[in-house]
Amino acid sequence: MHRAPAALALDAVPCCPPVPMRPRLAIPVIACAAVLAVAGSTADADAVAPIRGLRLESPVAFRLPARPVRLPLGERAARLARAQLGVRYVWGGASPGGFDCSGLVMWVYARLGISLPHNAAALYGSGRPVPLRAMRPGDLVFFPGLGHVGIYVGQGRMIHAPQSGRRVEVEALDARSYPPVGARRVAAS
């Protein structure tokens, strides 16, 4: 009479110490160990598997994330200015503790590595002129007398530090008593 060979216990293998595990996990663990043994060492498994005809697949598909889009400098300036909404107006101020109009512009662009003067009229000499109809976010918007400046944010609006007693705010260009007299683009695009 032919007898079936006795099942080999994991603790009977001299190179493998006993591993406590649930019986339901023993079969998948042994199957994985067998696949790795056939494929070679674990370090060479990826290189050996195609050569030996093994096809190791995963039920999980992996895709590289989309390449992050870097915003243009003007867009980043507009976002930085937007983050300062609500900061109080302080004459001569150029920090989140308080801003005047040119101090807000100077502070925002300094965060982006661009040094600008702390004076609205002096800012009018920075960058290059832009027609008002061609403004993009981040462009500087100037008003009569060059005594006030804001940062254009799109859709006919700007962020600025208006005057004493008020806070940094978004305002429509056509809501001011005087229309803009010019715009400058300090951000290359």
Give the 3-state secondary structure of residue 174: helix
| Cβ partners under 8 Å of residue 17, min gap 6 | 11
Distance CA 93, CA 90 (A): 5
Task: Give residue 165's identity as a one-letter amino acid code.
Answer: G
Active site residue 160: yes
Task: Give residue 70's identity as a one-letter amino acid code.
Answer: R
Count Cβ atoms below 10 Å from residue 75 Cβ, excluding itself. Answer: 17
From the list 15, 32, 101, 118, the catalytic residue is 101
From the list 2, 15, 16, 148, the catalytic residue is 148
From the list 16, 32, 118, 160, the catalytic residue is 160
Distance CA 130, CA 142 (A): 11
Q: Give me the active site residues, please.
A: 101, 148, 160
